[in-house]
Every structure is written in structure tokens, then in C-alpha cells.
């Protein structure tokens, strides 16, 4: 019997029992009432007492009130769900949020399964691990990604993802620092800065937060900020390949960025979450640039290489040479943050990370990355054929399409309404994203091909 049938039967049985004569003893069923006893029964509604909501005496974090609307991607999900209610039979294709879609390679999942099974044995069980990550994984990250760059295993902090580390770094630097971000940029940079108290209020006319230096990146400057026009900031948040524009900085550009940071006494927080998508001679790590270890740290992730968006595993590199103004090592303070706020990445997941860096695992990751890059090529070719100016895509899983003079939210809505395809409005990444949409290459091949067919129908 199904759950629904069971409930229906239970309710039916209970109701019949309640109403049957066996449930109650009725007396004097045939009762005649004197007519003179009848009168009018008047029902008077008694007003309900007003409910008072209990409130604590704890003030809300005033910085939370500065945040505008919802975080970008939940807001897009809300609009997608509303669209599905309006068109329940439509086949909605999601090329908005940068979430991977292809299965994790078996060489990686089998390693996690083996580690998981071992936990059920006395010999294989382990509890708390090192907050900084297991030594074999830290050593493998150092040799695989930073082998000839002078980065050692104890410079590496394994985590549950780059996004989580961005927030821990905000806690590390505190509310008194000033920050600069690429414009457009990944929304978590700005929102986490707002929450920690580094910013002023949101300025609606400028579509910016006060006390943040927005470094405009657009086609005119090659998606790299005009550094001579950038005001000094303590912390420079920089992502390459960039999310959302898909642009990867050149060696010459990153050399200028490192020199700028040295001149200003700033620290670069370099997000390299998409570095494996680089196929030309552009740097994959900021530490390829001479002098970077004195002014930069780097966050990275397995999310977009191995399909770990839900599994959660990343790392942050903080060289010993990176010092605060008083000479104290940044890494030592970050180690304290990690030990206080984090118990280390899952031991099962770290086994998967180690498998990612085996020869078989690296080959499997390259195939996954190659698949998404082919998707990006298909999307780029589609919009190019329709006459749009298209950016990114070559060294990143994101395609940045220009709709000059149009509101990016209006373009997002039109595409969703007329093609049932979810994209991401560029203005969600900052004022510099207005007039653009981001199309993600993370999708099944059939869905990407179908989405492109719909784009061609809409814009032919």
C-alpha cells in the first residue's frame, strides 16, 4: 500500500469511527422540543487579542542591512522557479549559475568510496585531522600546481572551497581595511566585504558601495584595470581567468599588478579557480610573476576541474614572504583563523582530491575541462554568427555577450521568456556588467546545442 493510500485509509477509518454510533452513546434520540422554547440565537464575534511578536534585545548587524536585494544566484533561481510556474511544460535550460553538470570521473569517486568504507574499520577510522589539510594532499598540490615556483606544502591550507576561504580571509583582514575589486567581478567579493564592515552604504545612483574601489574592466581596456587611475586599497581582489568576463590576464598585465601592489603596499587576493581552463601562455598562478610572493596570496578550487561544486574542496596558498606592516607573517594569522573557525576539509573528500592529482586523475580532469571548453566554443560561435560582440570563452567556461544600450536584466528576462534559457545578467556582477549577459558553458551537450538553436531563433 502506498503512503497516499495508507493516509487516505487511515483518515477514512478515523472519520467513520468518529462519526459512528459506536464512538458515542446517544440518549433520547427522539426528542420533541416545546415550540415556546425556540428563539433567535445571535452569534457575537469576540475580537481576537492582538498577537505581539516577541523580540530580543540584540541589535541586528547593521552591515547586513546594507546588502541589496538577494544574492545574485538565489535571485536568478527565484526567477527561474517563477518562470516554471508560468510555463510548467517548458523545458528550461540553465546556463546561468556556474554549476558543473558532468559526472565526477570514476578514478576520483572510487578513491572517496574506498576512504569512506575504511572508516568502518578500526584500522581505517580517523577523526579530526589537521585543520590545514592532510600532508600528502598539501604536498601533491604544491608539486602539481607550484612545482617550480618556490611554494612549499606548509604554505598551503586545504579548505572546503575557494568561496569559503574568501570569507575567512575577510575575517582575517577585518573591517578596517580598504578593498578594490574588478568591475565586474564575482559577487561574493563585494557582499562579504559589506558583511564584515569594510564598506559604506550602497549608492543607488552609482550602483556601488561607498569605500570600495571599483576597477572597471571592459573591452576598451582589455578587461584589465587602468591601474594609474586606481586609488590605493589595502586589499586587491583579483580573479583570472575572470568570472564573469572570462578574460585571462597576460603575464605583462599581472607583472604590472604586482608592481602596483608593491608601490602601494597592498595585498593581492588572487582567485585562480579557473586556471586549468587556460590553454595559451597566460599565467595560471600569480606566483609565476617575480616578486608576487611578497604581495599576494592565492585561492583555488577543485570545483570546476573535477565537478566538486557539491563535494567541496579547495585551497589557499600564503607564502612565508607575505608580511603585514609590522612584519608579522600573514600565514600565521590565517592559520589561527583556520584553527579557530574550521575543523579541516572532510577526510573522504581529501582522498578524492589526492586522486585528482594522480596521473589518471589529472588526465580525467583535463577531459572534463576540455568538454566544457567545447561547450564554450559552441556558445561563442553561436553569438558570433548572430553578429554580437562576444568575449571570454577561450580560457574560461564563461561567455560574455554584449547588448549595448540595453538593461542586462531586461535581456535576461527576454531570453528566459522567449527561449526558456536561464543566463546571468551582467549587472549582477557590478555596474561594469551592465549591458552584458554571462552564458555558462556548464551544461550537458544536448542542452547547450538546444539552447544555441533557441538563441538563433530569437536573434536571427
Q: Which of 34-48, 236-250, 323-337 has the lowest mean pLDDT?
A: 34-48
Per residue in 181-199, pLDDT tens?
Answer: 999 999 999 999 999 999 9
Q: Is the pLDDT of residue 24 over 60?
A: no
What CATH number is associated with residue 198?
Answer: 3.40.640.10
| Domain match, 380 and 399 both | yes
CA–CA gap between residue 252 and residue 397 (Å, rounded): 23
Domain containing 204: what range?
Answer: 106-357
> Looking at the domain assignment, is residue 143 inside a domain?
yes
Instruction: Give the Å distances, CA to CA, from 3 to 7, 8, 13, 64.
Output: 6, 9, 15, 43
Per residue in 80-114, pLDDT tens?
Answer: 999 999 999 999 999 998 999 999 999 999 999 99
Q: What percent of the chain has pLDDT over 90?
A: 86
User: Which residues have C-beta within 8 Å of that of residue 227, sequence separation ≥ 6?
Assistant: 256, 257, 260
| Domain match, 148 and 197 both | yes
pTM score of the predicted model: 0.88
| Domain match, 85 and 230 both | no
| Domain match, 163 and 276 both | yes
> Looking at the domain assignment, is residue 45 inside a domain?
no
> Looking at the domain assignment, is residue 10 inside a domain?
no
Q: Is the pLDDT of residue 29 over 90?
A: no
| Domain match, 331 and 385 both | no
| Domain match, 77 and 168 both | no
> Looking at the domain assignment, is residue 2 inside a domain?
no
Does residue 21 or residue 216 have the better pLDDT? 216
Question: Average model confidence (pLDDT) for the chain?
Answer: 91
| Domain match, 337 and 367 both | no
| Domain match, 92 and 165 both | no
| Domain match, 317 and 439 both | no
> Looking at the domain assignment, is residue 55 inside a domain?
no
Per residue in 325-364, pLDDT tens?
Answer: 999 999 999 999 999 999 999 999 999 999 999 999 999 9
What pLDDT is recorded for position 40? 52
Domain boundary among 298, 325, 357: 357
CA–CA gap between residue 193 and residue 197 (Å, rounded): 6
Q: Is the pLDDT of residue 248 over 50?
A: yes
What CATH number is associated with residue 399?
Answer: 3.90.1150.10
| Domain match, 311 and 366 both | no
Domain count, the chain: 2
| Domain match, 202 and 341 both | yes
Complete DSSP assignment for 203-272: ETTTTEETTEEEEE--GGGTTS--GGGPPP-SEEEEESS-TTT-----HHHHHHHHHHHHHHT-EEEEE-
> Looking at the domain assignment, is residue 342 inside a domain?
yes
Per residue in 302-315, pLDDT tens?
Answer: 999 999 999 999 99
Per residue in 55-88, pLDDT tens?
Answer: 999 999 999 999 987 778 888 989 999 999 999 9
Q: How many residues are listed for the chain in this entry? A: 460
> Looking at the domain assignment, is residue 390 inside a domain?
yes
> Looking at the domain assignment, is residue 38 inside a domain?
no
Domain boundary among 308, 335, 357: 357
Residue with cell 583570472: 240
Amino acid at each position: 500500500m502506498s503512503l497516499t493510500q495508507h493516509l487516505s485509509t487511515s483518515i477514512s477509518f478515523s472519520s467513520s469511527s468518529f462519526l459512528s454510533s459506536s464512538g458515542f452513546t446517544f440518549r433520547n434520540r427522539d426528542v420533541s422540543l416545546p415550540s415556546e422554547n425556540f428563539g433567535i440565537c445571535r452569534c457575537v464575534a469576540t475580537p481576537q487579542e492582538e498577537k505581539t511578536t516577541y523580540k530580543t534585545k540584540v541589535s541586528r548587524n547593521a552591515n547586513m542591512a546594507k546588502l541589496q536585494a538577494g544574492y545574485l544566484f538565489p535571485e536568478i533561481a527565484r526567477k527561474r522557479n517563477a518562470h516554471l510556474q508560468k510555463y510548467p511544460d517548458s523545458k528550461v535550460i540553465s546556463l546561468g549559475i556556474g554549476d558543473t553538470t558532468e559526472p565526477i570521473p570514476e578514478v576520483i569517486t572510487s578513491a572517496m568510496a574506498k576512504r569512506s568504507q575504511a572508516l568502518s574499520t578500526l584500522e581505517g577510522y580517523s577523526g579530526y585531522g589537521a585543520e590545514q589539510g592532510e600532508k600528502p594532499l598539501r604536498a601533491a598540490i604544491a608539486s602539481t600546481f607550484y612545482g617550480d615556483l618556490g611554494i612549499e606544502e606548509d604554505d598551503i591550507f586545504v579548505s572546503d572551497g575557494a568561496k569559503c576561504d574568501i570569507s575567512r580571509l575577510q575575517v582575517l583582514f577585518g573591517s578596517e581595511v580598504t578593498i578594490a575589486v574588478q568591475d565586474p567581478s564575482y559577487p561574493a567579493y563585494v557582499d562579504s566585504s559589506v558583511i564584515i564592515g569594510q564598506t559604506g552604504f550602497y549608492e543607488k545612483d552609482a550602483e556601488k558601495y561607498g569605500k570600495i574601489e571599483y576597477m572597471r574592466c571592459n573591452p576598451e581596456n582589455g578587461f584589465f584595470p587602468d591601474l594609474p587611475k586606481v586609488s590605493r586599497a589595502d586589499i586587491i581582489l583579483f580573479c583570472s581567468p575572470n568570472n564573469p568576463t572570462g578574460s585571462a590576464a597576460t603575464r605583462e598585465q599581472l607583472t604590472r599588478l604586482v608592481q602596483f601592489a608593491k608601490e602601494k603596499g597592498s595585498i593581492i587576493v588572487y582567485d585562480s579557480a579557473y586556471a586549468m581552463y587556460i590553454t595559451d601562455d597566460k599565467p595560471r598562478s600569480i606566483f609565476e610573476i617575480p616578486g608576487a610572493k611578497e604581495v599576494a596570496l592565492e585561492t583555488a578550487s577543485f570545483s570546476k576541474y573535477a565537478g566538486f561544486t557539491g563535494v567541496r574542496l579547495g585551497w589557499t596558498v600564503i607564502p612565508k614572504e607575505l608580511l603585514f606592516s609590522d612584519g608579522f607573517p600573514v600565514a600565521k594569522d590565517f592559520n589561527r583563523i583556520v584553527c579557530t573557525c574550521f575543523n579541516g576539509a572532510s577526510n573522504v573528500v581529501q582522498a578524492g582530491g589526492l586522486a585528482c592529482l594522480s596521473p589518471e586523475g589529472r588526465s580525467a580532469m583535463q577531459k572534463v575541462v576540455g568538454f566544457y571548453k567545447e561547450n564554450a566554443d559552441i556558445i561563442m560561435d553561436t553569438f558570433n554568427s548572430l553578429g554580437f560582440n562576444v568575449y571570454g570563452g577561450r580560457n574560461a567556461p564563461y561567455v560574455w555577450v554584449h547588448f549595448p544600450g540595453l538593461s542586462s536584466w531586461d535581456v535576461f528576462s527576454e531570453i528566459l521568456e522567449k527561449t526558456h534559457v536561464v543566463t546571468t545578467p551582467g549587472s549582477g556582477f557590478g555596474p561594469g556588467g551592465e549591458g552584458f549577459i554571462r552564458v555558462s558553458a556548464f551544461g550537458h551537450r544536448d542542452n547547450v546545442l538546444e539552447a544555441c538553436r533557441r538563441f538563433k531563433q530569437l536573434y536571427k
